[in-house]
Structure 1
Amino acid sequence: MKIKSFLAKPFASMVSKNIKKGMLTAVEDQEAILKSLIKTAKTTQFGKEHKFTEINDYKDFAQAVPVRSYEGLRQYIEEIKAGRHNVLWRGQPIYFAKTSGTVSGTKYIPITKDSISNHINGARNALLCYMAETGNSVFADGKLIFLSGSPVLERVGGIPTGRLSGIVNHHIPRYLRRNQLPEYETNCIEDWETKLNKIVDETINQRMTLISGIPPWMQMYFDELIKRSGKPVGELFPDFSVMVYGGVNFEPYKPKLFESIGRKVDGIETFPASEGFFAFQDTQTEPGLLLNTDSGIFFEFIPQEEIGKEQPKRLSLGEVETGVNYALIINSNAGLWGYDIGDMVKFVSTNPYRLVVTGRTKHFISAFGEHVIGEEVEYSLLKAATAANIHITEFTVAPFISTDKGKSYHEWFIEFENEPENLQRFSEQIDQFLREKNSYYDDLIAGNILQKLIITPVKKNGFIDYMRSIGKLGGQNKVPRLSNDRKIADGLTQWAKN
C-alpha cells in the first residue's frame, strides 16, 4: 500500500463518523442553517427588500421569500454583473457557474467564498464514505479521470466565469493532481470529439483506477477505448475499481456501461448541480443518496400536486414523507433564495434522509392530462428492456397530437444497442408498464382517448449527431427524457430509421 492510500484511511474514517453523527441531527442542522443564512444576509439588498430582520422562523421565511426560478433572480444577478456588492450575499461571488437553461438562456449561478466548500467537499465526502465502508483506498494511488468541462474561465463583470466542472477542477487538492487525467491542456479543449480522442490517447496505456463523469459521456469514452484496443474496459484497465457518476438517472445507462466494462466495479452516485452539491451515495448497501443537510443549504420541498401554483405548499425537511414526489427548492450561502432548481426528488428513507431524483419539474408530458414524469418512463423502459435483454443507448419521449381522424399518442425515440426482434411487442410491454405506473395514462388508454405508444428507432449515434447539430455535444449537456412539445422530437426525425 502506497503512502497516499495509507493516509487516506484514517481521514476517511473520521469524515465518515462525522457524517453518521450528522444523520441524527439533520433537522436541527437545517434549522440552524436557515437562521445563519438569514442573519448573514439581512444587510444585503435582497435581505432588506424581503425584511429579513422581521423573520423569526421558517413560517415567516416562507411568507417573506417567494419561490422563484432563475428569471426571478435575474435582476439581482445583473446588478452583481454590473459590479454591485452585497446584493444576494455579502460581498461579491468569487465565481459565476455558467450554465444553459431551456427558458432563461445562459444562466450565471453565483458561487461565493462561503459556498465553494459545498461543491468541493460533497464529492470528496462521497469518496471518503466509500473508502471507510469498503476499505478500498488503493484506487487513490492510481490514475483518476474526471470527464469535465474546460477549466478555462472568462470574466463576466470582473468575476471568473465558466462551467461548474471546470471551476471545481481548479480546486482539486494538490496531492491528487499528480494522479489526475487528462492533462490540463487537454481539458481546455472545447470541441468534445477532439477532446475525447486526446483523452483516449493519454489514458489508454495508463493504470486507471477511478473514472468519473456523466453516464452518456462516459459511454462515449468507453466506446472509443474499446474501438482502439479491442478489449473491454475492465480488461484494458485491470485496476479500475470505482466509477463515480451523476447528472442523470444512471439506471438506463447501467446495462451498456457494465457490458462495456465487462466485469463488476463499484459505483458512487452523486447529485451535483451548478447551484450546489445536494446529495451523494454514502453506502453501497442502502438505496438512495444522503441529503447534504449541513453544508450551507437550507432545503424546501413542494409536493408534486402543488407545483405551478401561485402559492404552493412548502415543507421543511422535518415534514417530508417517503414515497412522495417533491420539487426541490434551495436557499444557500451562494445567495440563492427560494430557488427552484427544476428537479423532483422522492425520499426512500427519512432516518437518515436519503432520496432519489425522479425527474425534472419541466420535463414531463401532460399534453392530454396524464402528467407522465421521468421516473415513470425510465422505469417502464428499463423493465421492458431487462425482460427482453435489450440495451438502450439513449431515448426521449414526446406527445404526438393528431390533427386528423387518428388518435394521439406518445412517441418514443429510442436508439437501441441491439433492437428487439418484435418492436411492436416491445412497445406494448413498455406501454403496459407505464399504465401500471401512471393511472392517468392508463385511463386515457382504457378510455380510447390515446392509442398505445409508438416507438421510432433512431440510427446509431443519432442522439450524438442531434446534440452536435444544436451545439450541445459533450460537457454537462444531456438530452431531456421528456418534453411536452415536439421541439426535440422534430429535431430528431432526420436521424430516425425508415
Structure 2
Amino acid sequence: MKLKSLLAKPFASIVANKIRKEMQRAVEDQEAILEELIKTGRKTEFGKDHHFDNIHSYNDYKQAVPIRDYEQFKPYINKIKDGKQNVLWKGLPIYLAKTSGTTSGVKYIPITKDSISNHMDTARNALLNYMSETGHTDFADGKLIFLSGSPVLERVGGIPYGRLSGIVNHHIPRYLRTNQLPTYETNCIEDWETKLDKIVDETIDQDMTLISGIPPWMQMYFDRLIERSGKPVGELFKNLDVLVYGGVNFEPYRAKLLASIGRPINTVETFPASEGFFAFQDTQEHKGLLLNTNSGIFYEFIPAQEIFNENPTRLSLRDVEVGVNYALVVSTNAGLWSYNIGDTVKFVSVNPYRLVVTGRIKHFISAFGEHVIGEEVEYSLMKAAKEEGLQITEFTVAPMVNAPGELPFHEWFVEFENSPADLVAFAKKVDENLQQKNIYYFDLLKGNILQPLKIRQVRKNGFIDYMKSVGKLGGQNKVPRLSNDRALADELANHLL
C-alpha cells in the first residue's frame, strides 16, 4: 500500500461516518438550509423583488417565489453577465457554467464562492465513501481519468465561463494532479475525436485504476483502446477498479461497457449538473442515489404531471413518497431560487432518502395522451435485450403521427452491438413490455388509436455520426431518449442500416 491509499483510509472512514449521520438528520438539515438561503438572499435584487423580509417558513417561501425555468431566470442572468453585483446572490459569481441545455438552448448557470464546494466536496465524498464501504483504496495510487470538456475558460462581464467539467478541472486537489489524466494540453483540445486519440496515446500504457465520464463517451474511449491494443480494457488496465459515471442512465450501456472491460467491476453512479451536485451512489448493496441534503441546496418536489400547472403541488423533503415521479426543483447558494432543473426523479427509499433519475420533463412522448417517459422506454428495451442476449449501443424514440395509409406509431431508432435474429419479433417484445409499464399506451393500442411500435435499425456508429454532424460529439452531450417531435428522428433516418 502506497502513501495516498494509506492516507485515504482514515479520511474515507471520517467522511463515511459524516454521511451516515447526515442521513439521519436530512429533513432538519434541509429546513436549516432554506433558512440560511433566505437570510443571505434578503440582500439581493431577487430577494427584494420577492419580499424575502416577509418569509418566515416554507409556506411563506412557496407563496413568495414561483417555480421558474431558465427562460424565466434569464433577465436576472443577463444582469449578472453585464457585471451587476448582488443580483441572485451576494457579489458576483466566480464562474458561469455554460451548458447547451436540452430544454432551453445555451444556458449560463452561476457558480459562487459558496457553491463551488458542493461540486468538489460531493465528488470527493462519493469516492471516499466507496473506499470506506468496499475497502478498495489502492486505486488512489494509480492513474485516474476524467473524460470531460475543455478547461479553457472565456469571460463575460468579468466572470470566467465554460463547461462545468472544465471549471471543476481547475479545482482538482493538488494531491491528485500527479494521478490525473489526460494532460491539461490534451484536455484543451475541442475536437472530440482528435482529443480521444490523444487520450488513448497518453493512457494506453498507464496503470489506469479509475475511469470517469458519461457512458456513451466512455464506451467510445474503450472502443479505441481495444482497436489499438487488441485487448479487453480489463486486461489492458489490470488494476482498473471502478467506473464513475453520471449524466444518463447506465443500464442501456452496462452490457456493452462490461463486455469491453471483460471482467466484473464496481461502479459508482453520480447525479451532477451545472446547477449542483445532487446525489451519489453511497452503497454497492442497494439501489438508488443518496440525496445530498447538507450541501447548500434546498430541494422541492413537484408531482411530474403537475409541473406545467399554474399552481402545482410543492413538497419539501419531509413529505415525499416512495415510487412517485417528481420534477426536481432547487434553491441554492449559487443564487437559484425554486429553479426547475428539468429532471424527474423517483424515491426508492425515504430512510435514507435515495432516489433514481427517471428522465427529463420535456423528454416524453404524448402525441395521443400516452405520456411515455424515459424510465419506461429504457425498461422496455433493456428487458427485451437481456432476454435476447443483445447489447444496445444507443437509441431514441419519436412519434410517427402521419403514417400514410396506416395508424400512427412510436418509431424507435436503435443501434445494436449484435443484431436480433428477428427484428419484428424483438419489437413485439419491447412493445409488450411498454404496454405493461404504461396503461395509457396499452389503452391506445387496444382502442386502435395507435399500432404497435416499430424499430428502425441504425447502422454502426450512426449515432456518433449524427452527434458529430450537429457539433455535439463528446464532452457532456447526450442523445435524448425521447422526443415529442420528429426533428431528431428525421435526421437519424439518414443513418439507418
Q: Which TM-score band applies after superposition, normalised by the shorter structure? A: over 0.9
Q: Is 1:44 matched up with 2:11?
A: no
Following TM superposition, by how much is the alpha carbon of 1:448 offset from its aligned partner in structure 2, in angstroms? 1.0
Residues 244-259 of structure 1 mapped to structure 2, 5 A cutoff: 244-259=244-259
Q: Percent identity, please.
A: 71
Partner of residue 270, structure 2: 270
Partner of residue 140, structure 2: 140
Equivalent position SS for 1:253: helix
Deviations 1:208-244 (A, max 9, x none): 0000000000000000000000000000000001110
Partner of residue 93, structure 2: 93
Partner of residue 285, structure 2: 285
Whole-Å Cα distance in 2 between the matches of residues 207 and 44 of structure 1?
Answer: 49
Partner of residue 33, structure 1: 33
Following TM superposition, by how much is the alpha carbon of 1:404 offset from its aligned partner in structure 2, in angstroms? 3.9
In structure 2, the CA distance between the partners of 1:103 and 1:327, relative to structure 1 (3 Å rule), is closer
Equivalent position SS for 1:302: strand
Partner of residue 400, structure 2: 400
Deviations 1:139-180 (A, max 9, x none): 000000000000010001110100000000010000000000
Deviations 1:180-223 (A, max 9, x none): 00000000000000000000000000000000000000000000
Partner of residue 421, structure 1: 421
Whole-Å Cα distance in 2 between the matches of residues 405 and 256 of structure 1?
Answer: 38
Partner of residue 214, structure 2: 214
Following TM superposition, by how much is the alpha carbon of 1:103 offset from its aligned partner in structure 2, in angstroms? 4.8
Whole-Å Cα distance in 2 between the matches of residues 403 and 248 of structure 1?
Answer: 31
Partner of residue 298, structure 1: 298
Partner of residue 18, structure 2: 18
Whole-Å Cα distance in 2 between the matches of residues 27 and 14 of structure 1?
Answer: 22
Following TM superposition, by how much is the alpha carbon of 1:310 offset from its aligned partner in structure 2, in angstroms? 1.0
| Unpaired segments ≥5 residues, structure 2 | none
Equivalent position SS for 2:231: coil
Deviations 1:250-273 (A, max 9, x none): 000000000000001110000000
Partner of residue 130, structure 1: 130
Following TM superposition, by how much is the alpha carbon of 1:494 offset from its aligned partner in structure 2, in angstroms? 0.6
Whole-Å Cα distance in 1 between the matches of residues 38 and 304 of structure 2?
Answer: 27
Whole-Å Cα distance in 2 between the matches of residues 104 and 212 of structure 1?
Answer: 27
Whole-Å Cα distance in 1 between the matches of residues 246 and 335 of structure 2?
Answer: 24
Q: Structure 1 stretch 375-384 or stretch 299-308: which is displaced more?
A: 299-308
Partner of residue 56, structure 1: 56
Conservation of the 8 A alpha-carbon contact between 2:297 and 2:332: yes
Partner of residue 357, structure 2: 357
Whole-Å Cα distance in 1 between the matches of residues 212 and 471 of structure 2?
Answer: 23
Conservation of the 8 A alpha-carbon contact between 2:186 and 2:199: yes
Conservation of the 8 A alpha-carbon contact between 2:103 and 2:342: no
Partner of residue 412, structure 2: 412
Partner of residue 168, structure 2: 168
Whole-Å Cα distance in 2 between the matches of residues 310 and 386 of structure 1?
Answer: 42
Conservation of the 8 A alpha-carbon contact between 2:328 and 2:340: yes
In structure 2, the CA distance between the partners of 1:336 and 1:147, relative to structure 1 (3 Å rule), is same
Whole-Å Cα distance in 1 between the matches of residues 141 and 429 of structure 2?
Answer: 46
Q: Is 1:324 matched up with 2:324?
A: yes
Q: Is 1:79 matched up with 2:73?
A: no
Whole-Å Cα distance in 1 between the matches of residues 256 and 268 of structure 2?
Answer: 17
Partner of residue 2, structure 1: 2
Equivalent position SS for 2:109: strand
Conservation of the 8 A alpha-carbon contact between 2:401 and 2:408: yes
Give the TM-score of the pair, scaled to structure 2. 0.99
Conservation of the 8 A alpha-carbon contact between 2:103 and 2:362: no
Whole-Å Cα distance in 2 between the matches of residues 163 and 148 of structure 1?
Answer: 9
Whole-Å Cα distance in 2 between the matches of residues 14 and 433 of structure 1?
Answer: 45
Partner of residue 241, structure 2: 241
Whole-Å Cα distance in 2 between the matches of residues 306 and 108 of structure 1?
Answer: 26
Partner of residue 177, structure 2: 177
Following TM superposition, by how much is the alpha carbon of 1:304 offset from its aligned partner in structure 2, in angstroms? 1.8
Give the TM-score of the pair, scaled to structure 1. 0.99
Deviations 1:342-391 (A, max 9, x none): 00000000000000000000000000100000000000000000000010
Alignment coverage as a number of residue pairs:
497
Following TM superposition, by how much is the alpha carbon of 1:403 offset from its aligned partner in structure 2, in angstroms? 5.3
Partner of residue 344, structure 1: 344
In structure 2, the CA distance between the partners of 1:488 and 1:157, relative to structure 1 (3 Å rule), is same
Following TM superposition, by how much is the alpha carbon of 1:43 offset from its aligned partner in structure 2, in angstroms? 1.0
Whole-Å Cα distance in 1 between the matches of residues 414 and 343 of structure 2?
Answer: 23
Residues 398-477 of structure 1 mapped to structure 2, 5 A cutoff: 398-402=398-402, 404-477=404-477
Partner of residue 312, structure 1: 312
